[in-house]
Structure 1
């Protein structure tokens, strides 16, 4: 099949618990000292505290300083807390930022050092000795089932993706009701992030039959449910379907990695401080259009499976969905200036191995042309 490996492997060591009931994870805890990693909102609203309260007599500490696009300083501070408390279990609860922080901090607590020793420096984490449990409260990142984390360098502002087998959690717990209170903008951004994960896994030069199956199902669920969840936040069926979609998209891109839309999100989020989902999605229709360069037949098959006549109609449909979600569909809408496009294209080349998985000809010039097309 076009754009698909004839030889492949699929490795997913994470145990997944998808539950309608409030999760009880007391039997999953190792040791008596636990650190829960979360963001200020989930800590102050009591969501993280309810998880801690259900852990019986365990000694629970909270690291609640996780910011969007977590910094290397934040990861290092979290790891220091885990070491200080000699925690044997780390629970990441929240969006991708909290879960990514928990992944790296748990590994640092086991291997020592700081995240800068590993992110972009070639040093590998040793075996993680701290138990890791991840609980998403958004439907979008899929971080609970991937071995990927992305961190913002506190000194340079650059994004530092890290891929590490020790980042796979021991347990992922998905409880759709945790997503009911997401602000509408977060519902939109995380939903489109999941769609990007799925379609980038599908057209990826590393794609394979298992990831394709998960990706297509995820895209169908998102197209059928995202706008409903955005407009009716407590629609239980829509929320559950989006949680399923996010999970499936994570199971897909965790094998293939992401491509150009995610690569461009790195400079866009760093420069303009937009949410990650916006940074990915704003260029997505343009990437859909150019994906026919190397994956024309496969993308036509996808378009028809999703109910569109062709790839161009699929790109238009995604753009229309984003407008309905009140998301920007042009770079100028996030504050980009025309004279900055060449610098963004140049920044993208720093991630060429990931960029090259896009099914199109990716050079600094072609990326610049794509950026101009969505300016």
Structure 2
């Protein structure tokens, strides 16, 4: 994992030394313009040559194409991605080019219509402003095609960020619902990297550290959103989970979530996590290393503690509460066939 990790409250102030004089394209979302963060970045560095601030949640090809064709006429050497997972993923998409800077070249790579070669990568500095996706320290980007109701994954080994800058003060304005959703996304990353065919003692160690921080802090943070200690603990959990699943990838909970988000509009953090108690119950007793990890996290071999946390957070674990009936569950299971993420899982569906 080649990304340089910079961690600390107010570490944004050191941004200019990582930009190091390069002409920089700032990619963010409209909310950060309104919050004054773009102006703050411009006060720290004079190297911003253009700001892209219309990145939407769950980036789709149709939206990214417009931006891609606009920025190809801009002279920049570095992309600075500041925002949630959607901004970070979109920035990775923009960082891939060929000599002609042809949008279709990138879409074809993602959709498997072109070999992964003859591309150029623009380096990226990532500043996450939510504590959930871990995109800042992984080589993947999720792109959606809602016409096809399908999620695509962009993967190139060079897509790791050059720098991931963690500053928990930037998460203080994240509202309660997004705080919970992104925290549960982190928990899913951690647990999914444990019941995973690609797991090893190092990744499991990071996953345990991550999951314990979520279990110990997410409810507290949901009731005290201005608490910087809790914000830091959740951000560390996100980072540790990223270090784990950047090596293992995710597994069956995420594989199911893509169908659920595309077809039911359920936010990703909920779609990938409401099944976790069920999966815990399925995997207990199957592998000693998983049992040991789950006991370390929850202090027991059951899903009861997590179910109690979900009840406090008002997160249902019932498919029916997400308008998924028995017939649609069959379609969901069918969607898992030949799915790489589902294939990573040590939990049989």
TM-score class, shorter? over 0.9
CA contact (8 A) 2:33 2:53 kept: yes
Deviations 1:259-295 (A, max 9, x none): 0000001000101111111010111111111123742
Match of 1:359 in 2: 346
Match of 1:300 among 291, 300, 306: 291
Provide closer, same or farther for how the CA distance between residues 126 and 196 of structure 1 changes in structure 2, counting only shifts above 3 A. farther
Shift of 1:84: 1.4
Instruction: Return the alpha-carbon distance in structure 2 between the equivalents of residues 185 and 46 of structure 1.
Output: 22
Provide closer, same or farther for how the CA distance between residues 293 and 346 of structure 1 changes in structure 2, counting only shifts above 3 A. farther
Instruction: Return the alpha-carbon distance in structure 2 between the equivalents of residues 252 and 88 of structure 1.
Output: 30
Q: How many residue pairs end up in the alignment?
A: 345
Match of 1:21 among 10, 19, 22: 10
Shift of 1:346: 1.4
The question of 1:250 aligning with 2:242 is answered: yes
CA contact (8 A) 1:15 1:171 kept: yes
Report the 3-state secondary structure (helix = DSSP H, G, I; strand = E; otherwise coil) of the residue aligned with 2:316. Answer: coil
Instruction: Return the alpha-carbon distance in structure 1 between the equivalents of residues 170 and 111 of structure 2.
Output: 34
1:227-266 matched pairs, under 5 angstroms: 227-266=219-258
1:77-156 matched pairs, under 5 angstroms: 77-108=66-97, 112-114=102-104, 115-121=106-112, 122-124=114-116, 126=118, 128-156=120-148
Instruction: Return the alpha-carbon distance in structure 2 between the equivalents of residues 180 and 301 of structure 1.
Output: 34
The question of 1:55 aligning with 2:45 is answered: yes
Instruction: Return the alpha-carbon distance in structure 2 between the equivalents of residues 189 and 249 of structure 1.
Output: 15
Match of 1:40 in 2: 30
Q: Which runs of 5+ in 1 are unaligned?
A: 1-11, 367-375
1:60-71 matched pairs, under 5 angstroms: 60-71=49-60
User: TM-score under structure 1 normalisation?
Assistant: 0.86
Instruction: Return the alpha-carbon distance in structure 1 between the equivalents of residues 226 and 318 of structure 2.
Output: 30
CA contact (8 A) 2:11 2:166 kept: no
Instruction: Return the alpha-carbon distance in structure 2 between the equivalents of residues 49 and 346 of structure 1.
Output: 48
Instruction: Return the alpha-carbon distance in structure 2 between the equivalents of residues 159 and 113 of structure 1.
Output: 18
Report the 3-state secondary structure (helix = DSSP H, G, I; strand = E; otherwise coil) of the residue aligned with 1:159. Answer: strand
CA contact (8 A) 1:214 1:251 kept: yes
Shift of 1:19: 1.8
CA contact (8 A) 1:198 1:253 kept: yes
Shift of 1:153: 1.7
Instruction: Return the alpha-carbon distance in structure 1 between the equivalents of residues 117 and 173 of structure 2.
Output: 36
User: TM-score under structure 2 normalisation?
Assistant: 0.93
CA RMSD of aligned residues (A): 1.9
Instruction: Return the alpha-carbon distance in structure 1 between the equivalents of residues 119 and 17 of structure 2.
Output: 22
Point out the more displaced range, 145-154 or 119-128. 119-128
Match of 1:331 in 2: 319
Shift of 1:182: 0.7
Instruction: Return the alpha-carbon distance in structure 2 between the equivalents of residues 14 and 108 of structure 1.
Output: 21
Shift of 1:22: 4.4
Shift of 1:175: 0.1
CA contact (8 A) 2:260 2:266 kept: yes
Instruction: Return the alpha-carbon distance in structure 2 between the equivalents of residues 258 and 30 of structure 1.
Output: 34
Report the 3-state secondary structure (helix = DSSP H, G, I; strand = E; otherwise coil) of the residue aligned with 1:232. Answer: coil
1:257-296 matched pairs, under 5 angstroms: 257-292=249-284, 294-295=286-287
Instruction: Return the alpha-carbon distance in structure 2 between the equivalents of residues 176 and 101 of structure 1.
Output: 22
Instruction: Return the alpha-carbon distance in structure 1 between the equivalents of residues 98 and 147 of structure 2.
Output: 22
Match of 2:196 among 175, 188, 204: 204
Shift of 1:97: 0.7
Q: Which runs of 5+ in 2 are unaligned?
A: none
Provide closer, same or farther for how the CA distance between residues 274 and 49 of structure 1 changes in structure 2, counting only shifts above 3 A. farther
The question of 1:319 aligning with 2:307 is answered: yes
